[in-house]
Amino acid sequence: MSRRALTFVLLTLAACGDKDEPTPTEDSGEVEGDADADTDSDSDTDTEVDIPADATMTGKVVDESGKAIEGARVSMCKTLCRTSFTDAGGLYSFPALEGFTHSFEIVISSGGWATPLAPVTLVAAQENVLDAVGVKFSESQAMPSSPKEVEVVEGLHITVGLDQLKLPFGADGSMVSGVRVAASDQVPVELPGEVIQMWYLGPFDGHAEAHLPFRMDNLWGLSAGETLEVWAADYTLAAWVSAGTVTVSSDGLTLESDGEGIPVLSTLVLLRATSGG
Protein backbone atom coordinates (compact mmCIF):
# COMPACT_ATOMS: atom_id res chain seq x y z
CA MET A 1 0.00 0.00 0.00
CA SER A 2 1.64 3.24 -1.05
CA ARG A 3 1.54 6.49 0.89
CA ARG A 4 1.50 9.99 -0.53
CA ALA A 5 2.63 12.85 1.68
CA LEU A 6 1.28 16.28 0.91
CA THR A 7 1.64 19.49 2.95
CA PHE A 8 -1.31 21.79 3.47
CA VAL A 9 -1.97 25.26 4.98
CA LEU A 10 -5.17 26.15 6.73
CA LEU A 11 -7.69 28.86 6.23
CA THR A 12 -10.98 29.62 8.01
CA LEU A 13 -14.28 31.51 7.63
CA ALA A 14 -16.35 28.86 5.89
CA ALA A 15 -17.49 25.32 6.45
CA CYS A 16 -18.11 22.58 3.93
CA GLY A 17 -21.72 22.67 2.79
CA ASP A 18 -22.63 26.18 3.95
CA LYS A 19 -22.22 27.91 0.61
CA ASP A 20 -24.92 30.13 -0.87
CA GLU A 21 -25.24 28.07 -4.04
CA PRO A 22 -26.04 24.43 -4.82
CA THR A 23 -23.63 22.41 -2.70
CA PRO A 24 -22.91 18.84 -1.77
CA THR A 25 -24.71 17.24 1.17
CA GLU A 26 -22.55 17.63 4.26
CA ASP A 27 -21.75 14.59 6.39
CA SER A 28 -25.12 13.06 5.49
CA GLY A 29 -24.19 9.80 3.82
CA GLU A 30 -26.33 10.76 0.84
CA VAL A 31 -25.24 11.89 -2.60
CA GLU A 32 -27.33 14.63 -4.10
CA GLY A 33 -29.42 13.34 -6.98
CA ASP A 34 -29.33 14.08 -10.66
CA ALA A 35 -31.76 13.65 -13.50
CA ASP A 36 -29.87 11.91 -16.29
CA ALA A 37 -30.52 8.37 -17.55
CA ASP A 38 -28.06 5.89 -16.08
CA THR A 39 -27.10 2.31 -15.51
CA ASP A 40 -25.56 2.60 -12.08
CA SER A 41 -26.99 1.37 -8.80
CA ASP A 42 -28.23 4.64 -7.32
CA SER A 43 -31.73 6.03 -7.68
CA ASP A 44 -31.07 8.56 -10.43
CA THR A 45 -31.07 7.95 -14.17
CA ASP A 46 -27.66 8.90 -15.53
CA THR A 47 -25.06 6.74 -17.28
CA GLU A 48 -22.20 7.36 -14.89
CA VAL A 49 -20.56 4.43 -13.15
CA ASP A 50 -20.53 4.28 -9.36
CA ILE A 51 -17.04 4.87 -7.97
CA PRO A 52 -16.21 2.77 -4.91
CA ALA A 53 -15.16 4.58 -1.73
CA ASP A 54 -12.06 2.44 -1.38
CA ALA A 55 -9.48 5.17 -0.70
CA THR A 56 -8.49 6.28 2.79
CA MET A 57 -6.95 9.54 3.95
CA THR A 58 -5.15 10.42 7.16
CA GLY A 59 -3.12 13.37 8.30
CA LYS A 60 -2.06 15.72 11.07
CA VAL A 61 -2.95 19.38 11.55
CA VAL A 62 -0.44 21.60 13.36
CA ASP A 63 0.24 25.31 13.78
CA GLU A 64 3.38 27.05 12.54
CA SER A 65 5.28 26.10 15.70
CA GLY A 66 4.46 22.44 15.13
CA LYS A 67 1.90 22.23 17.94
CA ALA A 68 -1.04 19.94 17.22
CA ILE A 69 -4.40 21.64 16.64
CA GLU A 70 -7.30 19.87 18.30
CA GLY A 71 -10.87 20.23 17.03
CA ALA A 72 -10.07 21.42 13.51
CA ARG A 73 -12.75 20.36 11.05
CA VAL A 74 -11.34 18.66 7.98
CA SER A 75 -13.71 18.31 5.02
CA MET A 76 -13.53 16.42 1.74
CA CYS A 77 -16.31 17.46 -0.63
CA LYS A 78 -17.58 16.72 -4.11
CA THR A 79 -21.02 15.14 -4.64
CA LEU A 80 -20.90 14.33 -0.93
CA CYS A 81 -19.19 16.12 1.96
CA ARG A 82 -17.45 14.08 4.62
CA THR A 83 -15.94 15.61 7.73
CA SER A 84 -13.46 14.57 10.39
CA PHE A 85 -12.36 16.45 13.51
CA THR A 86 -8.77 16.39 14.71
CA ASP A 87 -8.04 14.74 18.05
CA ALA A 88 -5.72 15.99 20.80
CA GLY A 89 -2.75 14.92 18.70
CA GLY A 90 -3.98 16.85 15.67
CA LEU A 91 -4.80 13.64 13.81
CA TYR A 92 -7.77 13.09 11.50
CA SER A 93 -8.83 10.21 9.30
CA PHE A 94 -11.28 9.28 6.56
CA PRO A 95 -11.79 5.51 6.28
CA ALA A 96 -13.71 5.60 2.99
CA LEU A 97 -13.38 8.14 0.17
CA GLU A 98 -13.74 7.91 -3.61
CA GLY A 99 -10.64 7.96 -5.77
CA PHE A 100 -11.41 11.23 -7.55
CA THR A 101 -10.85 14.97 -7.04
CA HIS A 102 -12.37 16.49 -3.90
CA SER A 103 -12.34 19.98 -2.40
CA PHE A 104 -10.09 19.74 0.65
CA GLU A 105 -10.80 22.30 3.36
CA ILE A 106 -9.89 22.78 7.02
CA VAL A 107 -11.72 25.10 9.40
CA ILE A 108 -10.34 26.19 12.77
CA SER A 109 -12.95 27.77 15.00
CA SER A 110 -10.78 30.42 16.66
CA GLY A 111 -10.46 33.77 14.91
CA GLY A 112 -7.89 34.98 12.44
CA TRP A 113 -7.12 31.77 10.57
CA ALA A 114 -7.14 31.69 6.81
CA THR A 115 -9.14 28.88 5.12
CA PRO A 116 -7.18 26.75 2.67
CA LEU A 117 -8.90 25.26 -0.30
CA ALA A 118 -7.29 22.78 -2.65
CA PRO A 119 -8.69 20.43 -5.28
CA VAL A 120 -7.05 17.14 -4.26
CA THR A 121 -7.15 13.93 -6.29
CA LEU A 122 -7.04 10.78 -4.18
CA VAL A 123 -5.48 7.54 -5.34
CA ALA A 124 -8.13 4.80 -5.40
CA ALA A 125 -7.69 1.73 -3.19
CA GLN A 126 -4.73 3.29 -1.40
CA GLU A 127 -3.96 5.20 1.78
CA ASN A 128 -3.45 8.91 1.09
CA VAL A 129 -1.54 10.99 3.67
CA LEU A 130 -2.14 14.75 3.79
CA ASP A 131 -0.66 16.86 6.58
CA ALA A 132 -1.53 20.52 7.14
CA VAL A 133 0.02 23.59 8.74
CA GLY A 134 -2.23 26.34 10.06
CA VAL A 135 -1.49 30.00 9.28
CA LYS A 136 -3.36 33.17 10.14
CA PHE A 137 -4.15 36.09 7.88
CA SER A 138 -1.26 38.56 7.95
CA GLU A 139 -3.42 41.51 6.89
CA SER A 140 -7.10 42.42 7.22
CA GLN A 141 -8.83 45.71 6.46
CA ALA A 142 -12.33 47.07 6.01
CA MET A 143 -14.08 45.83 2.89
CA PRO A 144 -15.01 48.74 0.58
CA SER A 145 -18.76 48.98 -0.05
CA SER A 146 -18.14 49.55 -3.77
CA PRO A 147 -15.19 48.64 -6.01
CA LYS A 148 -11.88 50.13 -4.90
CA GLU A 149 -8.30 48.98 -5.35
CA VAL A 150 -6.99 47.51 -2.10
CA GLU A 151 -3.53 46.15 -1.35
CA VAL A 152 -4.94 43.02 0.26
CA VAL A 153 -1.50 41.79 1.25
CA GLU A 154 1.93 43.12 0.34
CA GLY A 155 2.30 43.26 -3.42
CA LEU A 156 -1.19 42.02 -4.32
CA HIS A 157 -3.61 44.77 -5.36
CA ILE A 158 -7.24 43.77 -5.98
CA THR A 159 -10.14 46.00 -7.00
CA VAL A 160 -12.98 44.75 -4.82
CA GLY A 161 -16.20 45.90 -3.19
CA LEU A 162 -18.82 44.16 -1.10
CA ASP A 163 -21.49 44.84 -3.72
CA GLN A 164 -19.48 42.74 -6.23
CA LEU A 165 -19.35 39.59 -4.13
CA LYS A 166 -21.71 36.68 -3.64
CA LEU A 167 -20.82 35.34 -0.20
CA PRO A 168 -21.65 32.01 1.43
CA PHE A 169 -24.72 32.11 3.67
CA GLY A 170 -23.88 33.77 6.98
CA ALA A 171 -20.36 34.79 5.94
CA ASP A 172 -18.89 38.01 7.32
CA GLY A 173 -18.03 40.33 4.44
CA SER A 174 -16.90 43.27 6.56
CA MET A 175 -13.18 42.60 6.05
CA VAL A 176 -10.94 41.72 3.13
CA SER A 177 -7.97 39.61 4.21
CA GLY A 178 -4.92 37.89 2.82
CA VAL A 179 -1.69 36.08 3.57
CA ARG A 180 1.28 35.07 1.45
CA VAL A 181 1.88 31.37 1.99
CA ALA A 182 5.42 30.11 2.44
CA ALA A 183 6.46 27.42 -0.01
CA SER A 184 6.81 24.83 2.74
CA ASP A 185 3.24 25.45 3.94
CA GLN A 186 1.36 25.49 0.64
CA VAL A 187 -1.49 23.22 -0.34
CA PRO A 188 -0.72 20.97 -3.31
CA VAL A 189 -1.36 22.38 -6.76
CA GLU A 190 -2.34 19.82 -9.39
CA LEU A 191 -1.40 22.03 -12.32
CA PRO A 192 1.62 21.63 -14.63
CA GLY A 193 4.25 24.17 -13.71
CA GLU A 194 6.14 25.90 -10.90
CA VAL A 195 4.28 27.76 -8.17
CA ILE A 196 5.93 31.17 -7.81
CA GLN A 197 3.57 32.38 -5.07
CA MET A 198 0.42 31.31 -3.27
CA TRP A 199 -2.02 33.44 -1.29
CA TYR A 200 -5.06 32.68 0.85
CA LEU A 201 -7.75 35.34 0.55
CA GLY A 202 -10.92 36.23 2.42
CA PRO A 203 -13.81 36.50 2.81
CA PHE A 204 -13.46 32.87 1.84
CA ASP A 205 -15.45 31.65 -1.17
CA GLY A 206 -16.59 35.15 -2.08
CA HIS A 207 -17.52 34.81 -5.76
CA ALA A 208 -17.43 37.73 -8.20
CA GLU A 209 -19.60 37.37 -11.31
CA ALA A 210 -17.66 40.24 -12.84
CA HIS A 211 -14.16 39.01 -12.06
CA LEU A 212 -12.03 41.21 -9.81
CA PRO A 213 -9.29 43.26 -11.53
CA PHE A 214 -5.85 42.88 -9.96
CA ARG A 215 -2.16 43.61 -10.37
CA MET A 216 0.98 42.50 -8.56
CA ASP A 217 4.26 44.08 -7.54
CA ASN A 218 7.23 42.12 -8.82
CA LEU A 219 8.52 40.79 -5.51
CA TRP A 220 10.20 37.78 -7.12
CA GLY A 221 12.68 39.40 -9.50
CA LEU A 222 10.89 38.09 -12.59
CA SER A 223 12.21 39.16 -15.98
CA ALA A 224 10.54 41.93 -17.97
CA GLY A 225 8.14 40.51 -20.55
CA GLU A 226 7.66 37.14 -18.85
CA THR A 227 4.05 35.92 -18.80
CA LEU A 228 2.69 33.71 -16.02
CA GLU A 229 -0.65 32.11 -15.22
CA VAL A 230 -2.94 32.89 -12.29
CA TRP A 231 -5.41 30.36 -10.86
CA ALA A 232 -8.02 30.35 -8.08
CA ALA A 233 -9.39 27.30 -6.28
CA ASP A 234 -13.17 26.82 -6.64
CA TYR A 235 -14.90 24.96 -3.80
CA THR A 236 -18.06 23.93 -5.65
CA LEU A 237 -16.25 22.73 -8.78
CA ALA A 238 -13.40 21.09 -6.86
CA ALA A 239 -11.13 22.57 -9.53
CA TRP A 240 -8.64 25.30 -10.28
CA VAL A 241 -10.29 28.13 -12.25
CA SER A 242 -8.28 30.49 -14.46
CA ALA A 243 -7.79 34.10 -13.42
CA GLY A 244 -5.97 34.76 -16.69
CA THR A 245 -2.34 35.70 -17.10
CA VAL A 246 0.00 38.43 -15.92
CA THR A 247 2.98 39.89 -17.75
CA VAL A 248 5.98 41.58 -16.16
CA SER A 249 6.14 45.25 -17.19
CA SER A 250 9.02 46.60 -19.28
CA ASP A 251 10.53 48.29 -16.23
CA GLY A 252 10.27 45.03 -14.28
CA LEU A 253 8.31 46.58 -11.41
CA THR A 254 4.82 45.15 -11.80
CA LEU A 255 2.85 42.22 -13.18
CA GLU A 256 -0.13 43.45 -15.18
CA SER A 257 -3.23 41.29 -15.68
CA ASP A 258 -4.63 40.45 -19.10
CA GLY A 259 -7.99 41.62 -17.76
CA GLU A 260 -9.65 38.29 -16.98
CA GLY A 261 -9.66 38.92 -13.23
CA ILE A 262 -10.06 36.85 -10.07
CA PRO A 263 -13.28 34.78 -10.02
CA VAL A 264 -13.34 33.87 -6.31
CA LEU A 265 -11.52 34.78 -3.10
CA SER A 266 -9.87 31.59 -1.90
CA THR A 267 -6.50 30.04 -2.69
CA LEU A 268 -4.77 32.08 -5.40
CA VAL A 269 -1.69 30.85 -7.27
CA LEU A 270 0.89 32.53 -9.49
CA LEU A 271 2.22 29.79 -11.77
CA ARG A 272 5.04 29.52 -14.27
CA ALA A 273 3.45 26.98 -16.57
CA THR A 274 5.38 24.03 -17.91
CA SER A 275 6.35 24.66 -21.52
CA GLY A 276 3.65 23.13 -23.70
CA GLY A 277 1.51 22.40 -20.60
Q: What is the rounded average pLDDT of the residues 73-80?
A: 92
Share of the chain above pLDDT 70, in %: 81
Domain closes at, from 80, 103, 134: 134
Q: Which amino acid is at 71?
A: G
Structure confidence at residue 49 (pLDDT): 63
Q: Residue 105 sits in which domain range?
A: 5-33+50-134
Domain closes at, from 99, 134, 169: 134
Structure confidence at residue 177 (pLDDT): 98
Share of the chain above pLDDT 90, in %: 71
Structure confidence at residue 245 (pLDDT): 99
Structure confidence at residue 13 (pLDDT): 34
Same domain, 161 and 239: yes
pLDDT at 38 over 80: no
| Better-predicted residue by pLDDT, 64 or 142 | 142
Query: In whole angstroms, what is the distance from residue 185 CA to residue 252 CA?
Result: 28
**pLDDT tens-digit readout, 246-260:** 999 999 999 999 999
Structure confidence at residue 26 (pLDDT): 42
pLDDT band at 63 (very low <50, low <70, confident <90, very high): confident
Structure confidence at residue 100 (pLDDT): 95
pLDDT at 102 over 70: yes
Average predicted confidence (pLDDT) for the chain: 85
* Count of positions (residues) in the chain: 277
pLDDT band at 90 (very low <50, low <70, confident <90, very high): very high
**pLDDT tens-digit readout, 117-163:** 999 999 999 999 999 888 899 999 999 999 999 999 999 999 999 99
Same domain, 159 and 227: yes
Contact indicator for 49, 42 with CB cutoff of 8 Å: no
**pLDDT tens-digit readout, 152-194:** 999 999 999 999 999 999 999 999 999 999 999 999 999 999 9
In CATH, what number is assigned to the domain containing residue 55? 2.60.40.10
Domain closes at, from 134, 163, 185: 134
Contact indicator for 153, 140 with CB cutoff of 8 Å: no
In CATH, what number is assigned to the domain containing residue 244? 2.60.220
Domain assignment present for residue 251? The answer is: yes
